[in-house]
Amino acid sequence: MTTKDILKKVRKIEIKTKRLSDHIFGGEYHSSFKGRGMTFSEVRPYAYGDDVRNIDWNVTARYKTPFVKVFEEERELTMMLAVDMSQSEFFGTKNQLKKDMITEIIATLAFSAIQNNDKVGLVLFTDEIELFIPPAKGRSHVLRIIRELVDFQPKNKKTDLSQALKFLYNILKKKAIVFMVSDFMDKEYDNTLKILGRKHDLTGIKVYDPLEKEIPDLGLVLINDLETGKKQYIDTSNKDLRRTYAAHFLANRNYFKKSFQSAGAGTIEVATNESYIKKLLQYFKQRN
């Protein structure tokens, strides 16, 4: 893909996703994700009905009359977007690749964040951290994030969600909004997820292709595992094989949902032939 093609694609994604964030998700995002908490603003003289727990004893002692601390909600947030770039994301049989949908979801979330004057950062990972863009504000910063998603070529092919979760925990010193976007074709990440979930507002977005959910009867088919490179023929007319295939997807999905639920985190699931717009909007509204 040439530089001209990349810029053209980035611009196309910007036009589509910025419109969505401006007209649909901006208000929902603002009301769904509150500030990090209450931060100290000022002190003022005590008034009848004030909470005695807010009395500033140092100021009270100095002026010989009671003063209370005034707090306000800290609105500015940091959004960290963690994106799986393993080879399984470069798969698609309906409309688009999983990676293409992931790019649009990330762009929509990022534009929603900067519309609220929040910082946005990006982590691209496989079974190691491939790229880290520290949180910042502004349209040019979001365009850089989109450009990386469009053109980035990962070094590795496999997935290690635990590695990515550990990295997020180490770099995020203050509470942040974290979206992890992946097909979640991995396991043994539940314990690391709980550690991150205790500190941050965490959401997992599972993007999958309909063919990964169940395989149709297509006869003898050559299957290529994108992450290992292993190829083999399978007989899709075999009912037991199709049943096992569907059960594997279901087990993977259940692990994803239970792991995030145990971590006190939210989940969104969307297939590449579905509207991610509806899924995001529904999720934001449920949080209000």
Residue ranges matching CATH 3.40.50.410 in the chain: 3-32+76-287
Separation CA 110–CA 145 (nearest Å): 9
Structure confidence at residue 125 (pLDDT) = 97
Structure confidence at residue 271 (pLDDT) = 94
Under 8 Å CB-to-CB from 197, ≥6 apart: which residues?
260, 263, 264, 265
Structure confidence at residue 132 (pLDDT) = 97
Structure confidence at residue 201 (pLDDT) = 93
The token duo for 10 is 């980035």
- Per-residue confidence of the chain (288 residues) as pLDDT tens digits? 666 777 787 888 888 788 777 766 666 666 676 554 555 557 888 888 788 888 889 988 988 889 888 765 555 789 999 999 999 888 887 678 899 999 999 999 999 888 888 899 999 999 999 999 999 999 999 999 999 999 999 999 999 999 999 999 999 988 899 999 999 999 999 999 999 999 999 999 999 999 888 888 888 877 777 667 788 888 788 888 889 889 999 999 999 999 999 999 999 999 999 999 889 988 988 886
What phi-psi label fits residue 225: left (phi over 0), alpha (psi between -120 and 50 degrees) or beta?
beta
Which residue carries 């050559």 as its tokens? 222
Fold of 3-32+76-287: Rossmann fold (3.40.50)
* Beta strand ranges found along the chain (DSSP E): 38-45, 67-73, 78-84, 119-125, 129-136, 177-182, 201-208, 220-224, 231-235, 266-271
The total of other beta-carbon atoms located within 10 Å of residue 68's CB is 20
Query: Would the pTM count as exceeding 0.85?
Result: no
Note the residue count of the chain.
288
Structure confidence at residue 36 (pLDDT) = 47
